[in-house]
Structure 1
Amino acid sequence: MTFRAALARLRDAQKTARGVSLYSRYVNRPAGRVCAAAAHRAGLTPNGVTAASALLSLAGVAAVALLPPSWPLAAGVWAALAGGFALDAADGQLARLCGTGSPAGEWLDHAVDCAKITALHTAVLIAFHRHFALPDDGWLLVPPVFQLAHIMIFFGGLLADKLTPRPAAPPPHAPPPSRLRALALLPADYGTLCALFLLLGDEGLFRAAYAVLAGVYVVFCAAFSVRWFRALSAAGAAGSASAASAARR
């Protein structure tokens, strides 16, 4: 299959854009399509693309922890993290293109995502301690709080999706995904966090922006958690009512 043919097939086999932010919809998924088509031409497997994503992201994370802030570092870290994110979108697309999706591959993908999130905020904590002239030690609390909120959003959303009952058939006239909602989700997109590291050349600017985004994640975490709990509670109640009705027949 040619690169163009693979790209065309991938374009027609995209997952729904519902619940996806503008960055993932218009930047990361298209970039992932290109990476997936190129990986297919190169003979790579989806797990191989996942491994490449992990290595590229790890390079960016290690640079944050080991090197002092500078503008060249900022550009390099952003490129590594954003590139790893694009490859993260590519592995699933490549699996769908090749028909080789598997529970093991999905587990590997999510395990790498969790490791990447945990390591990135740990690297910022190390950078704060080693390389930043902090005005107060209280700043060392920001990365762990950000890390907790980020992991809760990732794990909570993943688990809610797995536990939500799937309809037997999709609605015949489902409304198109809301662009306003996609815009509102932009602060919680991993691509936004990647872009934040473009500010790493200025300690004060990066520290302030990182703290603001940490606060945003805390708010999102609380709001999402309430929403997911209520939705799953309603789904459980509906399932129990349906089972009781069937038993009475």
Structure 2
Amino acid sequence: MSTETGFGTALRQLRTAQKTAKGVSLYSRYVNRPAGRVCAAAAYRVGLSPNQVTLLSAVCSFAGIAAIALVHPSWGLGVCVYLALAFGFALDSADGQLARLRGGGSPAGEWLDHVVDCAKIVALHSAVLISFHRFADLPGDGWLLLPLGFQAVAVLIFFGGLLTDKLRAPRTAGTAPPAPSTARSLALLPVDYGVFCAVFLLFGGAGLFRAAYALLFGCYALFLVAFLAKWFRELSSEPSPG
């Protein structure tokens, strides 16, 4: 497709080049992917590459993360952090969509995307820990362990899901992807990154933020146990190589 293609044409073509919605939460399905589609069409129109969009996503996300660690929490800061993280998340969806619009991605592009995602997860919870230590009047020092636990659980979910996808047998050519389940998409909302970003809207209320952050940590921990059991069961049924 020529880069002279208009924004509207690129947007229409992107609507027909979406990944399956199976295993995707309602937020990603109805908010983040459509927002990423608009970003991808705009990026295509101005001639950006998928890797450049990935780096823009990293800039937005890490600007928000730096603000968490360096600036005293307030309601206004929370809104700014949320917008930076949410826009970075939309761009994270846009890079893959842009790659498909341009005819396919590359191993290097996929590698860069995953490295940025992993760095973002580690840095985000580290920034919360720094903010707790620098600015919060915590009920007890035990609260400093919460971001460390959340970080470990989030990294395990990210890595475990990524590795499971790589080890699964590829779908037979011509086989239609399974239909998405609305109930499953709703159930996955607590562990959607976009929902996690929204927690920072409470950043100005110290107790409210800690409570919401702890609640999401509990959800992530429960889902980790369920995901690990599911992924191990699925891979145990895969045929052995060779």
Query: Per-residue displacement from partner, 1:169-224 (whole Å, max 9, x unpaired)?
Result: 3545x652100000000111000110011110100000011011111111111110
Of 185, 189, 202, 1:199 maps to 202
Residues 1-249 of structure 1 correspond to what in structure 2 (within 5 A)? 1-171=5-175, 175-236=178-239, 239=240
Q: Displacement of 1:230 after TM fit? A: 1.0
Contact 2:25 2:188 in 1 (8 A): yes
- The 2-side partners of 1:228 and 1:89 are apart by 24
Pairwise CA RMSD? 1.2
Q: What amino acid sits opposite 1:192 in the alignment?
A: V
Change (3 A) 1:165 1:100: closer
Structure 2 vs 1, CA of residues 175 and 228 (structure 1 numbering), >3 Å: closer, same or farther?
closer
What SS does the corresponding residue of 1:201 show, helix, strand or coil?
coil
Structure whose CA Rg is larger:
1
User: For residues 185 and 171 of structure 2, what CA distance do their matches in structure 1 show?
Assistant: 23
Any idea what SS the aligned residue of 1:235 has? coil
Gaps of 5+ in 2: none
Unaligned runs of 5+ in 1: 244-249
Q: Could you tell me how far apart the structure 2 residues matched to 1:34 and 1:156 are?
A: 30
Percent identity over the alignment is: 64
CA-CA distance at 1:168 after TM superposition: 1.9
**Whole-angstrom CA distance in 1 between matches of 2:113 and 2:174:** 26
Separation (CA, whole Å) in 1 of partners of 2:77 and 2:127: 14
SS state of the match for residue 68, structure 1? coil
Q: What secondary structure, in the 3-state scheme, does the structure 2 residue paired with 1:13 have?
A: coil
Amino acid at match of 1:126: I
* C-alpha distance in 2 between matches for 1:70 and 1:3: 38
- Alpha-carbon distance between aligned partners in 1 of 2:137 and 2:7, rounded to the nearest angstrom: 49
Distance 2:219 2:183 in 1: 17
Counterpart-to-counterpart distance in 2, 1:170 and 1:146? 40
Q: TM-score, normalised by structure 1?
A: 0.93
- CA displacement 1:118-175 (0-9 Å, x = unmatched): 0000000000000110010000000010000000000100000010001323545x65
* Aligned twin of 1:247: none
- Size of the aligned set, in residue pairs, is 238
Distance 1:67 1:2 in 2: 41
